[in-house]
Every structure is written in structure tokens, then in C-alpha cells.
Structure 1
Amino acid sequence: MDIGIRVNANESYKNISDDELKDIIEDVVKLKFNRYPDSECNELRELYGKVIGVNKENLIAGNGSDEMISLIISSQITRRKVVLTIDPDFSMYDFYTSLSDGVIKKYKTEDDGSFSVNKFINFGKKLSPKIIIFSNPNNPTGNVISNEDICYILESFKDTLVIVDEAYYEFYGQSMIQYIEKYKNLVVTRTLSKAWGLAALRVGFLIANKELIEELNKSKVPYNLNTFSQMVACNVLKHPEKILKSVEEIVYERERLYKSLKNIEEISNNKVIFYKSKANFIFGRSIMKDDIKKILDDKGILIRYFNDDSFRITVGSALENDLVVNIIEKVVLDVGEDNDKNIKN
């Protein structure tokens, strides 16, 4: 199968600009490849701190937000300690918990990803979790938990670290960073892999109060983020206004894609269902998932499939989105016609 379109990994379809690339090329020749990188990522933390409005002392930088999540879990979880998360959510929470021989418990949400904060808290209280972690917006549903509800969770579990994974924050616009000093048990993680379009670099951040940062730094490996990634990220972070424009375009395409997919839902008589999203992807469910997968695979189009009847489509360019919509629409119409013929026969 030739891969023509990749809308499966929630990457940005927009690459860095030619001007940014030119600056990066000019800076590459200045790098000292024989020297280890800045282990503290001082310039990177300084620049990102200015972008999000915190001091660099409130930040740890690392090899993607995955490393930041791993750092927290490995420093807190030992055998049989409980990590509480949501079902569905980011699969790497399970992976890192298992590496530390911890136990992961999941609160099952509704089909669209929504949930009752009171039921979640009651569920969690029975487990005495060492860590609570969830993505917001949720991956893969695109659903969100309000800041008010997250504060309620933080207040209900004062002795538990609560990690809010804000990998898709830029497409949503609401953050918990403003609460890092109020809640000493709050940790926020961010990445430059999604809205910033730097997935190839693997740059992520952990944001918390200074005391917690100092404690977590004791478990961080030295030289964890290479010099090249730090340099490119710093170049891009100097022009945050460009990201705002990219985010506006992606959000516009998200809403257009969602509207088109909802039209397909209507003609399918709910054989395929799509859900509203605050991230850069659309979550769907369908009894025809296998039919959809076969045709998309044949066309060299990758989307993300899960073990049940659900799947996730990353927002691509306008042309990519239109192609995906047209193919799914054709599958729905063709399968519908085949079913009608079978009924008549």
C-alpha cells in the first residue's frame, strides 16, 4: 500500500515557513556538534515561558511531552500504586504505568467522551490514586473538561498529583496553567508536536509550581533534549504570531470537516456517528468501520482505528479533508445500496 495521506497521528498539516527554515539553516553552522546540549534547556525554557506567561523556573523541557509524563509517573509510581485516568484516553499513560509496575484504573466516559465530575470523583475516592492523569482536550474524543471541574478534582484529591495533559490546548484555548501556584498538586504538560508543527523534533514541557519542579528535576536524566531540537524550537518560539495564524486555519478546517462528516452521518441513518471536537481531529464510531478502513487503506489514506467501533481522523489540508469525506461518503452510500439489494433479494 502506498501511503498518500497521513491523517492518523494528529500532526499539523502545515510545515514551518521558508523564512523560519532559512533562519534554522543559518544557525545550524553555528552548532558545536562535539559538545553535549544544554542540560537545563535554559534558552528554550525562557522563550516558552514568555509565550505562555510563566517563569522558566516553572518549566522542565524534554523529549516530547511523553518524556514529561514518563518522568512524573516513574518518580511517583511503584508496585501496585494506582494511576487513575479516563477511558478512552492517551494509550501511553497505560504504558508508562506498566513500566513502573503500577496499576491503571479507568473511569469510563460516555460515547462522546463526556462524563460526570461527581461520578468521576466518587469512582476515584474508592481507589486512593497516587496520580490522576487525563488529556484535555481528550485524545481521542476531542471532548473537554471545564477548568471549574478540574479545580473540583484538584480540591477533592489534595494529596494526589493531578496531571492535565494539554497537548491540544492551542485548538481549545483554555488552560490550567494559571492555577499552578494555587494548587500545589497540579502538573500541566504541553508539546510543540501538534499546533506548533514540530513533531519531528520531539519537544515537550512540564509546568508546575517551583517546588514541584525542583523535586521532579531530581529524577530527570541529563542532556535529555538534543541541541538541534533546542535550537529549532527556539527559532520557532521567537515568532508565536505565526502559530496563531496556523491554529486559526486548522480550527476553520476542523469545523468544515465536522460539518461535512455530520452530513454523511445524516444520510447514513446514524450507521456512522461523528462527535464535536476541540482538538485537531474528529472522533467517530461506525458499524461500517471495517468497510471504511478497507477503502481508505486501498487509497493510501491512513486514519487512526481503535479496537472497538471507533476511529479518529486528523484534520488535514482542505484537499485532504475533502478527499477523506468523499471516500467515506461513497462507502456509506455503496454499503447502503448493497444492504437494500440484499433485503429485496
Structure 2
Amino acid sequence: MATFKKHIHAMSAYKPPLDGRDPKQHLLLDFNERTLPVSNDVTQAMIDYIQAGRLQMYPAYGDIDSVIAQYCGVKPEQVMITNGSDQGIDLIIRASCVAGDEAIIPSPSFAMYHQCAKIENLNIIEPQYSREEGFPLAGVLAAITPNTRIICIANPNNPSGTGIAREGIEQILIAAPHATVMVDECYFEYSGLTVCDWVERYSNLVITRTFSKTWGVPSLRLGFVISCQENIQALLNVRGPYDINQLAVVAIRAALANPEYTHDYVQEVMQQAKPLFEAFLTGCNIPFWPSQANYIWCFPDNADAINAALVAAGILVRPKADANGQVGLRVTIGTLEQTQRAIAVIQTAL
């Protein structure tokens, strides 16, 4: 006899298509990851820690909150590290909501918002993004009710790359003072979009970020939450004392102390490779969503054939259907050379 909550059994697991991915065989343009290895400073820091004979010890995070806070321009007491930003999302929703509450999740968006909301048995309202209008600000504002407890905003959004202006976020914060407004800034280094300077102004603002994307260590699982001190203290009451891998903390200390490898990569992706790919799509009359991130969701007429050609050439992208069922390809932008390689294959398939 099942003893778990009935709605949990009725759910489906979030299963990203990770099988068969091999960086030695494939150019991985399917998960918005960094497409180059991390710097030697990062790998050497982890090697040194392992060789120091400390793996048998429980994690001790030291002043990592202060290090991250300095990078973000906030106070140490306004930061909490998490096991990837996924844990931050889960903790925020759990701490904000009870079964039957309403969650506003503009869609399509990151699947973890829906997964965590469904675990808490929330009623989900989904104002729709559009390629023409972008973020559905009017729809979100219209959906706010006294039962709204969480509003999830990906800035920029995944899979579309759509950004929302600070003024729009402020309208939502003011319109829903009784609800947590979670702004996911997972792709901040690419977009430059942030409202972290508002955490003292709006007590209902909670921000999630990660070191998985730009900094290139998704396998180590380190994210963080930024909010006012009262919210961070409450979330620390929910997070476990040892939830974060010690090696992740070691790696990020080294990464933040030697940020050039990230800054140089971001510059090449956003200033060289991405404009090249956008110009290629425009020249081929292939529709795509305007993106402020390191990926582009495009809709060629023969998306399935192009995807097959890319796979045959050892390049993986992410097929994703829009709200109307039209299949598009979400393509991560890598280096200039990697982008040129992808363009050549798509050009031939066209």
C-alpha cells in the first residue's frame, strides 16, 4: 500500500535527455553549458584539496558567502549557498507555499519551477510568453490574486532567452507584496540583467543564481540565493547544514579569484559567436526568439532534418516545441569556431 502523498504518485519525473552525451564525441550545444573546460586554477584547487587528505571531513564552508556577496555587490548576510540553483528554487517554493496556493509561472519556462510547484500541490497559472511580445507582463499582473504565493520569473527565460526589464519586475513586486517573487538570474553573466540591488527595498524579492552555466561546473552543483537577511535566515532553517559539496566551494573560490577565463569566454560568446549565429539565421529567413542569453531558440522549417544532420556531425542541440506544437531547436552558443562549425552543418542541411 502506497504511503506517499497521492499527488506525488500522479506526477512524472523531470528527466532531461542526458543519456549518450560525451564531450569527447560530441560538441555539446544542447544544455546551455560552457563549451570549454574550466581553467587550470579551478582544477588544480580541487586536486590540491583532495591530495591534502581532507575528504573524510564534513564540509566547512568558511567565508564563501562573503566571497560570493562581494562578487554580487551585496552583503554576506544576504547570500545563502545551495546545491545548485535547483535546490534554491525548491527551498524557496517550499518555504513560501502550502498545498492549494497559487503559483504564477510564465510559460514556456524552466521545468524545475513546475516540478517543485507540483510537489507542493500548488495551482499553477501560466501566462504565455510570445516571440512578438516577450515576457507576458500584463498576463502576470492580471493573474495575481490573494491566493498567489509564488511568482517565478526567469530573467532571461529558458528556453526562449527572453529578458524582462527591471521596471516590469518592480511592477510585479509592488502588485504582489503578499507573494514571493523569485527571479532566476541563472544566466546573469551573459545577460547582465539583475535586480540584486533591490533586496533591501523589497522583502518579497528572492533571487537565484548558479555557477553551473557561465563558470562551467554544473557537475559540482553550487548555486546561491540572494535576498534580505530575514529571508536568508528563514531559508537556512530549511536547508541542511551539509547540503553543498565541499569540492564545489573549493572550485568556486578558485574561479572567483581567477575570473579571466569566464570573462573572456563570455565576451567571445556574446560579442562574436552569438551575433554571427543571429546574422546567419536572419540571412536564411529562419525565425528565432530574441535572446539575452547564451542560446537561441530557432524554428527552421525542417527542424527534425537539421537536428538529424547535426547529430550525424557530432553536434547536439535541444529540440523543443513551442506552445503551438511547432518544433524548434534551442542552440547553445559556444566559441566562434564552434558556432561556425554548427552553422556549416545547418547550411548544408538547409
Q: Provide TM-score, normalisation by structure 2.
A: 0.87
Change (3 A) 1:315 1:201: same
8 Å Cα contact 2:220-2:245 kept in structure 1: no
Alignment partner, residue 313 of structure 1: 331
Report the Cα distance in structure 2 between the residues aligned to 1:284 and 1:324, rounded to whole angstroms: 13
* 1:236 paired residue among 255, 279, 283: 255
Find the residue that maps to 1:275 and give its secondary structure. coil
2:203 aligns with: 184
Q: Conserved in 1, the CA contact under 8 Å of 2:100 and 2:122?
A: yes
Deviating more after overlay: 302-311 vs 167-176 = 302-311
Q: What secondary structure sits across from 1:108 in the alignment?
A: coil
Change (3 A) 1:294 1:188: same
**Structure 2 CA distance for partners of 1:258 and 1:73, relative to 1, 3 Å:** same
1:97-147 deviations in Å (ceiling 9; x for gaps): 11112222211121356035233201x225732100021011111111001
- Any idea what SS the aligned residue of 1:87 has? coil
- Per the TM alignment, residue 31 of structure 1 is displaced from its structure 2 partner at its CA by 4.9
Question: Matched residues in 1 for 2:205 and 2:238: separation?
Answer: 18
1:115 matched to 2:115: no
CA distance in 2, matches of 1:172, 1:112: 19
CA distance in 2, matches of 1:18, 1:49: 24
* Aligned positions of 1:281-320 closer than 5 A: 281-307=295-321, 308=325, 309-320=327-338
Q: Which consecutive unaligned segments of at least 5 residues does structure 2 have?
A: 1-19
Rounded Cα–Cα distance in structure 2 between residues aligned with 1:163 and 1:116: 16
The answer to whether the 8 Å contact 1:51/1:240 transfers is no
Letter matched to residue 337 of structure 2:
L
Which residue pairs with 1:217 in the alignment?
236
- Corresponding residue of 1:8: 30
Alignment partner of 1:99 is 2:119: yes
**Residue 18 of structure 1: how far off its partner (Å):** 2.4
Match of 1:30 in 2: 52
Q: Does 1:275 align with 2:289?
A: yes
Give the ranges of 4+ consecutive aligned residues of structure 1 lying more than 6 Å apart after TM superposition.
none
Other structure's SS at 1:164 match? strand
**Which amino acid in structure 2 is aligned with residue 28 of structure 1?**
I
Contact 2:182 2:206 in 1 (8 A): yes
In structure 1, the residue corresponding to 2:106 is in which secondary structure?
strand
Deviation at residue 174 of structure 1 after TM alignment = 2.5
1:327 lines up with 2:345 in the alignment: yes
Shift of 1:161: 0.3
Name the counterpart of 2:277: 257
Are the counterparts in 2 of residues 261 and 325 from structure 1 also a CA contact under 8 Å?
no
CA contact (8 A) 1:88 1:113 kept: no
Aligned residues: 323
The question of whether the paired residues in 2 share the 8 Å contact of 1:58 and 1:210 is answered with yes
After TM superposition, give the deviation of residue 27 of structure 1 in Å. 3.3
- String of CA shifts for 1:156-206, please: whole Å, max 9, x gaps: 111110000000111111211000000000001010111111222111001
Q: What residue number does 1:51 align with?
A: 71
TM-score (norm. length: structure 1): 0.88
- Confirm or deny: 8 A CA contact 1:131 1:160 kept in the other structure: yes
Q: Return the letter of the residue paired with 1:235.
A: A
Whole-Å separation in 1 of the counterparts to 2:47 and 2:137: 49
Structure 1 letter corresponding to 2:70 = K
Distance 1:101 1:119, change over 3 A: closer
Larger Rg, first or second structure (1 or 2): 1
Question: What's the CA shift string for 1:38-67, capped at 9, x where partnerless?
Answer: 2xx332212111111112211110110011
The separation in 1 between residues aligned to 2:331 and 2:163, in whole angstroms, is 17
Aligned Cα root-mean-square deviation (Å): 1.9
